[in-house]
Each structure stands twice: as C-alpha cells, then as structure tokens.
Chains A and B, each alone.
Chain A
Amino acid sequence: MWANMLLPLCVIPLIATVGVLLLPTRWSKVIALVSSLIGLILCIPIYLGFDSIQSQTMQWAISVPWIKSLGIRFAIGLDGLSFPLVLLTKLMMPVAVLASWNEQRHQKAFMACFLALDAAMTGTFLSTDIFFFYVFWEAMLIPMLLLIGVWGSDQRVFASLKFFIFTFFGSLLMLAAIFTVFVAAKAQTGVYSADIASLTKTMLSPEPLWWGLSVQDLVFWGFTIAFLIKVPIFPVHTWLPDAHVQAPTGGSILLAAVLLKMGTYGLLRFSIPFGNDSFFKFTPLIAILSLVGILYGAFVAFQQTDMKKLVAYSSVSHLGLVVLGICSRNPEGLTGAVIQNINHGLSTGALFFLVGFLYDQRHSRKFADYGGLASVLPWFSFFIVFVACSSMAVPGLNGFIGEFLILLGSFKAQKTWGMIAVLGVIFGALYTLTLVRKILFGPITSPENRNLKDLSLKDYLVLIPLSLLMLWIGFAPQGLLDKMKPSLENYWKNPVSAYADRSNGENPS
C-alpha cells in the first residue's frame, strides 16, 4: 500500500488539469479544490509513514526507465530534504485555490494553470532523476507565466516576461552544468545515468580551467546561479517584486510559499553535493550576498507604499536568512534554514492571502487607501497581527524557531555574519509593524473602508489551520524536525564523503 504513496501526489493534479479543461467552466473551481484537498489529505499518511530514521534515503521510491540508452528514468522518492517541502506544497495548494475563489476571468484556464503548476512543483521536489527534475523545474514556468501574465495587474506582461527570462537564464546555466556532470559521469562509469544520487559521486576536477575556476566551480556556479535567482538573492532579486506585485493573489501565494523554496532546495540537493569544495571556497561570497539581501530587503520593504511590494521585499530579506543558514555549514544553521523555509511559506502565504482579501474588496494595495481597519474588521485584524507576529519571529510562534536557529548557526560559523543578521531581524520587526500600523490603526481615512466585510467562512478555513500550524511549529517544532533529523544532522558529512577519494589525484574529463 505504501509503495505508490507518492505517485498520486503528482498524477492527481495532472488528471485534474485535464478534467478542468474538458469539463464545463462551472466545475473548474470545485475540481481544483477537490484535487488539492485530496493532495493535502494524502499528506497525512505520508507524514505518518515517513520513516525518520531512514530520512537520508529515498522512501517510496519509484523508478521507471524512459530513455534507456541515456539512463534517464522517471524516478521519484521522498527524503528528509524534500519531505517538508512536499508537505508545504500540498498545504498551500488549497490555500491558493481558495484565495482565487472569486476570480471571474477565464476560470477554466486559471484553475488549469494552478493544477498544472501543482503537478510540476510536486514533481520538482519528488524527482530523483536529474533530467526529470529539470523538466519539472522548467515546466513550472509556463503556468506561472500565464498566471502572472493573464490574470495579473496592470504591469502584468512586463512582470511575467521578466520572471520567465530571469528564471530561464538560470535554468539554462543549470542545463549546461547538468550536461557537464552527465558527460563526466559517463566518462568515469562508462554508462549514462541521470540518477541524482549516483551523479553526485562523479568526481569533477578541482584543477583551474577557466579564469581560475575549475570544472567543479563552473558546475557549482551553473547550478547555484539558477537557484540563487530563484531564491532570490540580492543582485538577481529584481524579478521578484515585479512578479509578486503583479501576480493574482493565488499566484503570489504559490510563488512565495513554494517556488522560492525551490531555490534553497536546489542548493541543498544539487549545488552543495555537486560542488562541495567550491561551496567551501565561495561560502563567504554567498553569505555576504545573503546578508546584503537581508538588510537591503528589509530597508526597501520599510519604504514601500504598496502592501504587496512590502511583502515581496520582506521575502528577499527572509530568504536571505535561509541562505545564510545554509552558508553557516553547521546542523543548527541548516535546521533553521529548513524550518524557516516552511515558516516563510506559511506566514508569507497567509500575508498574501490577507492582502488579497483586502484587494478583492477595495482593488487597492496602497497603504494610503487604508488605515483604521481594526475597528471595522476585527477578525481580519486579529489574523494579520497574528501572521505578522509569526513573520517577525515572536517567540512562541514558528518564525522564532527558524530565525533563532539560523542566527545560532551563523554565530557559530562567523560572529560578524550573526551580528549583521540580527540587525536584519530587528528591521524585519520594523517593517512588519509598519504594515500592521498603516493598515489597522489610526483614523479611518477613506469612507469606503467603513463598509468592508469581515472574513467569511472560506477565509477562516484557510487562516485557522495556517495559524494552528504556526503555533504548532512554534511550540513543538520537534514534530517536524524529528522527521528529518538524520538527514539534516548528517548533511554536512555526506556531501563531503562523495568527494573523499578525489584527493587521489585522478583527473576526469
């Protein structure tokens, strides 16, 4: 029974996509919701059945040959790295569907894009075959492009193209890196294989090749640039505010909660295992970039007059923390990074949901149009304060656990990193509170706001579970952490071992 646990996660949204396209429009929303809820329900046996002791190995693995002569197989599996992200994806799907419940334009195509995106996102996290990983990774771009470009706001075309081209640039570098590894592995083992685990055993020469960079460095950067763009890290983050702001609410939620996580997931799954030495060499650079991102994101968020833009820049800041946690190269930092990944998904997803709730009624994202909502929308106000607390890491909520562990890890690695990162956390409180203050408090400036409706049932259905999860992770993070403990604690030993015998002086390719 457990053997085919994962396949439905990927296949159900695909079937639902076809169903939405073929059946009449009035069914679209229902199909999308049902399929995403089934996905969520399937997560329960997966959570319970996931063997935490074995979390370093792929569980429920399936492998079907596809192109035999190139060793390409359709292979999926779940390990400690992908486990939390798959759950997060499946959790955020119903949220995104419910957030888009009132979307009127081209509902059929809209829901089809969502479900296709769901399939591709799940596939990306589940793939244990590098080729299929890449296919899913790229396939994700098309529905997202359409979601932003068709259902977005005024600047949607620009934002969608920018999103696509930035990400595609990174993907192509990654493709070149994949080719290099693929061919090098063939040269060493004699057969083509696209299995990620066996490819990471490929020895890539550390000899300088091009501008002082070795093959391993180039492969490392090929992967890393792709993932850092997706994260996004400081100089390549500019697509994110545009995409976030222009995307429809559901699109923003998935973008923030899931798509950005693929960057950090990719760093852990590909960049570091394939280029461990290079990661060692370039850690300071990446850490400094992420520190710049933390502070810069926080400052820019503080200056915004647009709610969605504020949340978008806060993502730059928060994801900078996640990358910093990875750069600390110790289990604490890594654990914090993984937890913070989830936290950011929950809190930013919820924030976008709440902002979308306001936008649906007032069609404005400007702070200037709001103020004093606390007296009109008490329940909305409660939830936005709650989510803001989670986002700025108030102890007792999930954000605290993640940020604390990341800071601990980075202090252990480099005191200065830790100190600068703490500053970022403080500024985080500043801009989050600004958001809360400008929306909720003060006099009601615009008379239209007096007639706003408070949360409805569907909003409670989203917000209450998300809030409970925030509390749960805040009070009892062990429930999630224990599941992936071995894979996180041994992570820094494992990628090294793959290269351990490289020092014998062999020079491949």
Chain B
Amino acid sequence: MILHYFLIPAAPVLSLIACAILLICLEIVTGEGKAKTLKLLVALLGPASSMLAVSVVSKTLSESTIEIVQSDFPAWLGEFLATYQLDSFTLVLFLAISFFTLLALVYSEAFLTDFSEKSEIFSLLLFVAAGMMVLVSANSLLMVFMGLELMSLPTYVLVGLRKNDIRASEAALKYFLYGSFATVLLVLAIAFLYGSFGTLHISQITALTRLQITSASSGSASLSLAASMALLAVALGFKIGLAPFHLWIPDTYQGAPTPITGFMGSAIKLAGFGLAFKVFCSMFNSVLSQHSDILGVLALVTMFVGNLAALRQSNLKRIFAYSSISHAGYLFLAIAAINPQNIQRGPLLYYLLVYGLMFLGTFGILSVIENNRGNLDLNRLNGLGFEKPLLSACLLLFILTAAGIPPTAGFLAKYFVFLEAASQGKMTWVVLGVMSSLIGVYYYLQIIAHLYMKAPLSAMAPIQVTHKAAWVGILASAAGVIYFAMRPGLFAF
C-alpha cells in the first residue's frame, strides 16, 4: 500500500535526492579530487534512475489513476499524499527535467575543467532537479514553495561557482536578490489565497474559485483573488523571465558558468512554466478568461523586449539570454491563449521541450567555443562553419529552431502556439507575435553570418572538442530537436 501510493510516485524525486546525498558522502569518504569516475557515475545514476522510475510510475498510472482515498491511510499520510499530483503532463515534465539534468551533468563534467572537485556541482544539480520535480508535481501551495526553494537555493550557488570571478559574483548576487524578492511575493500570494479560501490545496482552490465565480460573490473576495493572481504573475514573471521582470536574466546568464546557463535556460524555465501552467490554467482556470488580455500583453511585451534588446548585443551568451526572454514570451502566450474550457497542454509542452533541447544544445556548443577561444564575442564564431562542419551544422540547426524557421521544430512549436491564439480569436496577438519573430530573425541571422559568411579572425585558436562527452550532449540535443520536428503530433493537439 505504502509502496504503491507513496514510494513509487515519489521515486523520481527520491532517487535524485538519494544520489545527491550519496555524492556528498562520497566526497567526504574519498576526499577531494579522488574517484572522479565513480562520482560521475553516481551523479548520472540520479537522473537515469529517475527516468526509469517515471516509466514505472506511468505504467502504474495508466493501470489505475492514483486517487488518494483519505480513509485508507493514517490522517497524516493522507494529508501528505494529497500534496502532490501526478498526471501524464507532469510525468513528461519529469522526463524532460531528468534528461536536461543528465545533459547538464555531462556538460559540467566536460567543460568545467577549472574545478578539480565536481561532486558538489553534481549534487547541487541533482538537488535543483529534485526541486523542479517537486515544483511541477505539487498540489499544495506549501509544496510549491518548498519546491521553488529547493530549486532556487542550489542554483544561486551554481551561478556563483567561480568565486573569484567578479562577473559570476555579480550574477549570483543579482539572481539571489531578484529570486528572493520573487519568493517573497509568492509567499504573499500564498498567504492571500490561504486567507480567502482557508486551504493550501490547489485542487480545492480551483473548485472554490469556480464556486465563487458562479455564485457571483462579494467584491472583496474577488479582489483578494485578483491580488493573489497578480502577485503570482509577478513572482512567476521573475522566475521565468517575463518583461518587465527580466532584468536579472542577461547578467546572470552571462556571468554563470556556460553549462549552468544552459541548464538554467532550459530546465528551470521548464519547471517555471510547469508551475505557471498549473497556476493559471488549473488553479485560476475559472477567472483566466477575464485576465487573459493582461497575460497576453505581458507575453507580447516580453517577446518584443527580448527580441529588440538582443539586436544590440555582441556577446553570444547575452544574445541567447535575450533570446530566452523572447521565448518566454511565446511560451507565456501559450498559457495566455489557452481555452479554459478545453485545456490543451500540447502547444506549451511541445514548445518547452523543443526550446529546452535547443537551448541546452546551443550552450553545449557555446561551451566548446568558450573553452577554446576564451570568450563568447560574436566574432569568435567567424570561420567556424567550415572549420568544424558538424558542430556548426548543429549550431545552425539550433539557431533555425530558435528563430522558428520551417522545417525545424521551432517553427512547429510557434505554429501550435499561434494556432491556439488564433482559434481563440486573438488575431492581433498572432500578428504581433509573428512580427516579433521577424525582429528576432535579424540577430539569429547575424549569428549565421558570423558562422558561415565572415572570414576567420587572424590568430584564433583552432576549435577542439577535448572531451568527447560534450559531443554526446550536443548530438543528443540535435537528435531530439530533429525528432520533435518529425513527430509534431506527439502530444495530441
């Protein structure tokens, strides 16, 4: 009983945490810089076993939907079990989180060559992943808070890994300050919600808001609902980088170690959007249509801010930081344009996965370039196209995916989001959205121009992929992006 209802569903999270703790113990036992292979293997075991666990869970889930019958358990256990909820959407997110973590571990092993002891980095990554899983599967606002903190706190450390680098410290400090501020707002929102509904369970709040709306209740209750929704939007806006709450992103993404940036841009965004989907599409389902215009404007502003600001950048990491902001806009449009009566998770999920793979793949390549050529100014790419054909072809694929140019999966992802908006009658959003991608295309093309069309700078170090594991990560991302381009019907739109 306990096994079926508790251990199996929790296995993906537990295996990550177990491996993380094991890693810390290993470091104490073996000492610094020793038994590197063992540590790496234990680290990789985390997400790998987590993926395995997800497949087991999905099997049990398909056999019988896990419904918690409170009376079967002691009260405390029933109470606890009700704090999370697994469905197919969450499980796909679990898989994605595990996969992204796997790639991030590989990248950290391959590229963070200036660290002699990596088990701390690994265990921090695993904790972040566990936090993300808690976050996306939470059914209680308390769990949301827990997951968010478990995800954020190790990330602050990861951003500032290079203690002596002033940019890294700036990045970590900025991220920490903005992140804590966002958490404060989130807690405030939770307090408001608890105040008005007397419960922290998301599904109960969903039901209660629906009741409140249909019974045309008093103004004060709906005011507190609106206030908590606004607070949540701002808190999430900070986390997922919606304009105007995006200001930390360029500096943090640039200052963080490149593999960590890749992880943040893909996995943390994914978890953030998993939460945003839960909040806006499930919890506030009944009031979503009233506020969809505000959310849509937020999404559009984000797109334009991201794409316009990226035009002026000359550092690849900053370009992709702004690009990730504009992608957050498109992703948020998928939430804003959702039909509350008929929730389609497909467009958001597809976009998240394609975007995450694209981002991780790109940052793998950027790490290669950074490790060989010192920094990531745009002109470091010059002449790379014919020097390293396969690497450049992968980068080209990722850039075209990011720009949303057919026949890549990036186009399909945007297509589904826009189609969702169009079918809700929001043609203005569609037109503005596509125009924003026109702006975006300019800086993506600049990258392609540097990659293939510009003559190489003199005296530039040749590019070597020293660690073969890096290829695994890059090619896996590329394969994923191609796979999604060929199977767009994966999530049954």
Contacts and interface: CB of A to CB of B under 8 A. Distances in A.
Interface of A: 66-70, 106, 109, 131, 134-139, 141-142, 145-146, 149-150, 156-157, 160-161, 164-165, 168-169, 172-173, 175-176, 179-180, 182-183, 186, 509
B454 A157 contact: yes
Given A161-B445, A176-B430, A180-B427, A70 B452 contact: no
A136 B492 CA distance: 24
Contacts of A68: 489
Given A139-B405, A172-B438, 9 more contacts: A67-B493, A68-B489, A135-B406, A145-B445, A146-B448, A146-B452, A165-B441, A172-B435, A175-B415
19 contacts: A68-B489, A69-B492, A70-B493, A106-B386, A131-B415, A135-B407, A136-B406, A139-B407, A141-B405, A145-B445, A146-B452, A157-B454, A164-B441, A165-B438, A165-B442, A175-B434, A183-B419, A183-B423, A183-B425
Instruction: Name the residue among B405, B423, B435 with the largest chain A CB count within 10 angstroms.
Output: B405
Interface string B375-413: 000000000011001000000000010000111000100
Give the size range of B's interface with the partner.
20 to 34
Nearest to B419: A179
Contacts of B430: 176, 179
Contacts of A164: 441, 445
Contacts of B448: 145-146, 149
B457 interface: no
A146 B405 CA distance: 14
Contacts of B438: 165, 168-169, 172
Please classify the interface of chain B as helix (H, G, I), strand (E, B), loop, or mixed, using the class held by over half of its residues. helix
A213 to B, nearest CB: 13
Interface string B447-481: 01100111000000000000000000000000000
A325 to B, nearest CB: 30
B340 interface: no
A165 B441 CA distance: 8
Contacts of B493: 67, 69-70
A146 B396 CA distance: 11
Given A161-B442, A165-B445, A66 B489 contact: yes
Contacts of A179: 418-419, 422, 427, 430
A168 B448 CA distance: 16
A427 to B, nearest CB: 35
Nearest to B392: A109
B119 interface: no
B35 interface: no
A148 to B, nearest CB: 9
Nearest to A148: B453
Q: Ordered nearest first, which 4 A-B pairs have the shortest CB separation?
A: A179-B422, A138-B406, A172-B434, A135-B406
Contact of A176 (B405, B425, B434): B434
Nearest to B437: A172
A140 to B, nearest CB: 10
B334 to A, nearest CB: 15
Contacts of B427: 176, 179-180
Contacts of A136: 406
B406 A139 contact: yes
Given A139-B407, A164-B441, A179-B430, A69 B419 contact: no
A33 to B, nearest CB: 22
A135 B441 contact: no
